[in-house]
């Protein structure tokens, strides 16, 4: 969630001089479930960062909020700043959409309005520069046999599951493709990945040259995307799919076990396919080209255009 706001702020800062200040907030237990219309700032958890203007009583030029917890605060900033702060909300707010100067919402959410910018996926921090920084921290990955295949594994959600048996089949299919190509793997799991699925995939893929992140130490996510010749991503993660599509590298989508219809995910996957970024993984590491997706940059340009 934080990466959405931070990625969008960093994109704005690449276009115009800016200082980025991160404020993390949460509501006191008991108040967190209240409707946004009933929440006021004294209900914030004392562990939250301070909510209010900066030095000299000055509100920020741009405020970017992400997540349900920020909604009443974003509306308050708009009001307390006297309209001097350009207030941006990412995702579908589902509450007072008109209260913000700009809503940057995933296209697959179907939000509409004069102050809504629909983008493919969500804002994120993946850029060539960020990936190069990650690569500099793990230069040894450059020595892995090519093609280098990044495998980004999600997990159980309301719409998808990754039971051990399915994880084992996916690992076998991935391993056969990599072995046939003489390449290597770079594997990272989500916090949502079931332990049994993680163990099954690790057992099979660890037989290949490569790197499997166990969650300890430096997060190699950016380095994996930088060094990858192919990206394999499970279909449950909207964020990972859109981030992979920003690299310009072939993105192969791994199937999950469906739990219920997921029209939003289907719309996102359709948009990524239409852009030419993704294809369903068919057991082969085919190559193709497309224009890297830069929806975060497009949203940043829209912020500056509308703010004036």
Residues 143 and 171 in one domain: yes
Q: Tell me the percentage of the chain whose pLDDT exceeds 90.
A: 94
**Alpha carbon distance 191, 197 (integer Å):** 12
In angstroms, the CA 246 to CA 101 distance is 26
Structural domain span for residue 242 = 128-280
CB 122 within 8 A of CB 91: yes
The SS3 of residue 260 is coil
What does the pLDDT average to over 6-22? 97
Q: 171 and 94 in one domain?
A: no
pLDDT at 208 over 90: yes
- 205 and 82 in a single domain? The answer is no
Task: For residues 201 and 87, state if they share a domain.
Answer: no
Domain presence at residue 291: no
CA distances from 175 to 42, 163, 194 (A): 54, 18, 20
User: What pLDDT is attached to residue 54?
Assistant: 87
What pLDDT, on the 0 to 100 scale, is given for residue 195?
A: 96
How many angstroms separate the CA atoms of 179 and 208, rounded? 8
Q: Are residues 57 and 33 in the same domain?
A: yes
Q: State whether 273 and 147 are in the same domain.
A: yes
Q: Are residues 271 and 241 in contact, defined by beta-carbon separation less than 8 angstroms? A: no
The answer on 244 and 206 residing in a single domain is yes
pLDDT digits (tens, 9 = 90+) for 245-280: 999 999 999 999 999 998 988 999 999 999 999 999
Which positions ≥6 away from 176 have C-beta within 8 Å?
Answer: 283
Q: What is the pTM of this model?
A: 0.92
**Within a 10 A sphere around the Cβ of 15, how many other Cβ atoms?**
12
Are residue 186 and residue 224 in the same domain, yes or no? yes
Q: Are residues 155 and 66 in the same domain?
A: no
Q: Tell me, what's the pLDDT at 56?
A: 87
Q: Is residue 292 part of a domain?
A: no
Closest CA to 36 of 67, 82, 64, 60: 67
How many domains would you assign to the chain? 2
Task: Please name the helix (run of DSSP H) or strand (run of DSSP E) that holds residue 280, with its range, or none.
Answer: strand 278-280
290 falls in which pLDDT band (50, 70, 90)? very high
How much is the CA Rg of the chain, to the nearest whole Å? 21
Band (pLDDT 50/70/90 cuts) for residue 203 is very high
Q: Are residues 91 and 217 in the same domain?
A: no
CATH number for position 234: 3.40.50.2000
198 with 235, same domain: the answer is yes
User: Is 289 domain-assigned?
Assistant: no
Q: Could you report the per-residue pLDDT of 65-97, keeping only the tens digit for each?
A: 999 999 999 999 999 999 999 999 999 999 999
- In a domain, residue 287? The reply is no
Q: What is the mean pLDDT of the chain?
A: 96
152, 276: one domain = yes
**Residue 180 clears pLDDT 90, i.e. is over it:** yes
At 1 the pLDDT is 87
pLDDT of residue 72: 96
């Amino acid at each position: 969630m934080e990466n959405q706001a931070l990625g969008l702020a960093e994109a704005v800062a690449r276009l115009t001089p800016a200082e980025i200040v991160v404020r993390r907030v949460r509501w006191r237990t008991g108040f967190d479930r209240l409707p946004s219309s009933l929440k006021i700032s004294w209900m914030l958890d004392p562990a939250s960062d301070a909510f209010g203007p900066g030095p000299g009583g000055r509100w920020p030029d741009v405020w970017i909020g992400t997540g349900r917890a920020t909604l009443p605060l974003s509306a308050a900033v708009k009001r307390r700043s006297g309209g001097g702060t350009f207030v941006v909300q990412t995702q579908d707010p589902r509450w007072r959409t008109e209260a913000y100067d700009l809503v940057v919402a995933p296209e697959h959410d179907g939000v509409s309005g004069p102050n809504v910018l629909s983008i493919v996926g969500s804002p994120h921090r993946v850029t060539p520069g960020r990936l190069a920084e990650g690569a500099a921290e793990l230069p040894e990955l450059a020595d892995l046999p090519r093609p280098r295949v990044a495998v980004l594994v999600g997990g159980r959600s309301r719409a998808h599951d990754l039971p051990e048996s399915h994880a084992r089949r996916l690992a076998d299919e991935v391993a056969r493709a990599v072995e046939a190509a003489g390449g290597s793997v770079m594997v990272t799991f989500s916090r949502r990945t079931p332990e049994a699925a993680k163990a099954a995939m690790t057992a099979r893929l660890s037989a290949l040259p490569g790197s499997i992140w166990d969650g300890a130490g430096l997060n190699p996510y950016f380095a994996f995307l930088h060094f990858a010749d192919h990206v394999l991503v499970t279909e449950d993660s909207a964020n990972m799919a859109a981030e992979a599509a920003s690299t310009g590298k072939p993105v192969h989508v791994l199937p999950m076990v469906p739990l219920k219809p997921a029209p939003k995910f289907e719309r996102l996957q359709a948009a990524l396919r239409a852009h030419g970024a993704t294809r369903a993984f068919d057991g082969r590491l085919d190559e193709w080209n497309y224009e890297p997706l830069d929806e975060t940059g497009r949203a940043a340009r829209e912020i500056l255009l509308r703010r004036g």
